[in-house]
Amino acid sequence: MDVTMMNVGWWHPLWRSLCVGMLWLATMGVASAQNGQRPTLYTEESYVDEVTRQTDLAVEDPMAVFAFVFESLPERVKVYPTENYYYFSFFQGGVKYAGNIRIEPNDDGGQTVHFTYFEDASEWHEDVDLKHMVLDASRDVTIEKLDKFNYRIGYKGKSVVFMLNDLSGVTPPAAVVAADESFIGPIFDESGIRFFLLYNAKLRDFHYILDETHPVADKFVPTKRTDRILIGTRTGFAFYRDHRLERKILIGVYEGNMRLNTYFDGPFDQLPDNFIKGEALRNAILQVQPNLKGHIDRFGSDPGGEVRYMIDPYLPYRKIDDLYAYHRCASGRTRSANYYDCFVFNKLEGAEARSPRRSR
């Protein structure tokens, strides 16, 4: 989940709520895992101690908050999501705040570093005030590109190396790519789930395919009416087991997570920016939306970077029954040339059309 404010259309890359109890828990475990052999133990005691602790951070001052965040980081940090968001959260006055530092690649080969934070959103508190600023020399912040995947950010005598997630060697097995599909790039979602972004030029369809070439950080449970549809116990991601290939296609993300922009709002906001080859993404988008010619860069963003084309073929579902339309379509078209249209929400019979872009 980037810090973007989600509206099922344009997204705002400066808004993102984080899942309650994710990042702050990571800092409060009382027993750490040893080489992955044992889990980390978290306690309600630690949570209460943190949420009730008296602190005096000037949360209305963006530079004060940045200084606090930056000073709290170790000398090297790992940025997992592929749109390069480094997420954080903290409590102040019993309220959870969330935000991120993002290294954004530009079409000219440069980069812009953003800092954003806000009160964490919830079902009962969705309208939150977003604070954002660009980190540069005007704020006494230095940025040095060490290489494609490593950046050093400095502020007041301290420097931190941000290590981006190098997935340059990750490609899908040939057996999971259909004849008319091409590989756009690998995705590491903020949920911890990895995907392959594929494009079907014949049908003009995008698909997110679950990357199962490494252990998947979720447990998938089949639905009651068909074992073709699998739901992630942790993420709520819904996948369909392809009739033709040994692969799982993302078909649904829980609507509440999309609306609040949690870690589990789906991979639309973690595109493979560092791994897109040349014009591959722009050309695919222009096949789907020819009217965008001359209005987007190779990342799918407008020239000002305020908006970006939204690739979300999956359904924001509210209940499991919402997903069965995919099965009805797919089971009736197993031999059809447009079988894979069944996994694009807008192409399902009776599906409501949605805006194809997101605001940053």
The C-alpha atoms of residue 194 and residue 211 are separated, in whole angstroms, by: 5
Side chain identity, residue 324: Y
Q: Is 217 a residue whose pLDDT tops 50?
A: yes
- Residue 239: how many other CB atoms lie within 10 Å: 24
**Three-state DSSP state, 252:** strand
Enter the pTM of the model: 0.87
pLDDT at 21: 42
Confidence of residue 126 (pLDDT cuts 50, 70, 90): confident
The residue with greater pLDDT, 29 or 191, is 191
pLDDT at 7: 35
Do residues 308 and 299 make contact, with C-beta atoms less than 8 angstroms apart?
yes
Confidence of residue 2 (pLDDT cuts 50, 70, 90): very low
The C-alpha atoms of residue 214 and residue 88 are separated, in whole angstroms, by: 26
The C-alpha atoms of residue 73 and residue 307 are separated, in whole angstroms, by: 30
Side chain identity, residue 66: F
* Mean pLDDT value across residues 232-258: 97
Q: Is 360 a residue whose pLDDT tops 70?
A: no
Backbone angles phi, psi at 218, to 5 degrees: -165, 165
The C-alpha atoms of residue 337 and residue 340 are separated, in whole angstroms, by: 8
pLDDT at 20: 36
pLDDT at 184: 98
Structure token digits, residue 345: 């929400």
Residues 6+ apart with CB under 8 A from 129: 118, 119
- The rounded mean pLDDT for the chain is 89
The residue with greater pLDDT, 12 or 308, is 308
DSSP state of 346: G
The residue with greater pLDDT, 355 or 115, is 115
Which of 197, 165, 324, 218 is closest to 268 using CA atoms? 197
Confidence of residue 23 (pLDDT cuts 50, 70, 90): very low
> Among all chains, which residue has been given the structure tokens 């096949």?
287
Q: How far, in Å, are 3, 121, 289, 350 from residue 87 at the CA level?
A: 9, 15, 32, 38
pLDDT (tens digit per residue) in 312-354? 999 999 999 999 999 999 999 999 999 999 999 998 865 555 5
Query: Strand pairing of 238-241 and 130-134?
Result: unpaired
Q: How far, in Å, are 108, 266, 322, 335 from residue 150 at the CA level?
A: 18, 26, 42, 47
* Mean pLDDT value across residues 248-273: 95
pLDDT at 35: 61
Confidence of residue 108 (pLDDT cuts 50, 70, 90): confident
Q: How far, in Å, are 152, 326, 336 from residue 131 at the CA level?
A: 23, 40, 50
pLDDT at 358: 64
pLDDT (tens digit per residue) in 128-185? 899 999 999 999 999 999 999 999 999 999 999 999 999 999 999 999 999 999 999 9
pLDDT at 327: 97
Do residues 66 and 115 make contact, with C-beta atoms less than 8 angstroms apart?
yes
User: The dihedral of CA 20, 211, 8, 238: what is its sign?
Assistant: negative
Name the H helices within the chain: 23-26, 44-52, 62-72, 255-260, 280-288, 324-332
pLDDT (tens digit per residue) in 25-59? 444 444 444 466 899 999 999 999 999 999 999 99
Do residues 308 and 11 make contact, with C-beta atoms less than 8 angstroms apart?
yes
Confidence of residue 356 (pLDDT cuts 50, 70, 90): low
